[in-house]
Amino acid sequence: MNPQVLLIIGPTAVGKSSLLERALRDFPQLVDIVTYTTRPMRAGEEEGRPYHFVTEEKFKELVSGDFFVEWAHVHGKMYGTPRDQIKRAGSEGRPVIIDIDVQGAKALMREFRDVVTVFLIPPSVDALRQRFVKRGITSDEDLERRLQSAQVEMSQASYFDHVLINDNFELTYVLLRKIVENLLKNQ
């Protein structure tokens, strides 16, 4: 069975993961798709949370085995969405939720029929810069690269069903909750 797919899209550090975690807590029927990456773990992360962390060699092996529905280079590292987790959720009749970048979202929109997209944008470029710094991204070069790619991503907002400005977590979450409720109604 084809799964319902909810994509949470937007630049790094815009607040996607906190919103996603809250939605998963409130809607236990949603399946969190744990994507794969070759980037190193950050403090506070562990295998499976929020990613399956693999070596580049392993990632390439998975690519050759057609393990991913889509995969992409993001900030110099590889990220990919596993086919098996989505298939399993589909066979259980459960909707999936995926934190993904713009290119990955577009690929999944081509692959699946029942896709709802939520694009999150920061209230300003300055607010995003502050969030990057909070995450420990302090080198000027890295900051500029990420801000530039965030601006490119933000120019793509019109491709998506819902665009939410993540200025205030609680307010943004109220809007996201409505979107999830509507999705579940259409099951």
Q: Which residues bind ligand 5GP (CB under 6 A)?
A: 12, 35, 39, 70, 72, 74, 79-81, 99-101, 103-104
Find the shortest distance in angstroms from Cβ 14 to ligand 5GP. 8
When the beta carbons of 72 and 184 are compared against ligand 5GP, the nearer one is 72
Nearer Cβ to ligand 5GP (42/185): 42
How many helices and strands, by DSSP H and E, does the chain display?
Answer: 7, 9
Residue with tokens 């280079």: 73
Spatial contact of 101 and 154, defined as CB atoms under 8 Å apart: no
The structure tokens listed for 23 are 């939605």
User: Least distance to ligand 5GP from the beta carbon of 50, Å?
Assistant: 7
Least distance in angstroms from the C-beta of 185 to ligand 5GP = 26
Residue 108 or 180: the one with the smaller Cβ distance to ligand 5GP is 108
The residue (of 51 and 173) whose beta carbon lies closer to ligand 5GP is 51
Cβ at position 22, least distance to ligand 5GP in Å: 16
Nearer to ligand 5GP, 141 or 187 (CB): 141
CA 12 to chain centroid, in Å, comes to 9
CA–CA dist 129, 137 (Å, integer) = 9
37-44 contacts at long range (C-beta below 8 A, 24 or more positions apart): 37/77, 37/78, 37/79, 37/80, 38/77, 38/78, 38/79, 39/75, 39/77, 39/79, 42/135, 42/136
Q: How far is the CB of 12 from ligand 5GP (least distance, A)?
A: 4
156 CB neighbour count, 10 Å cutoff: 16
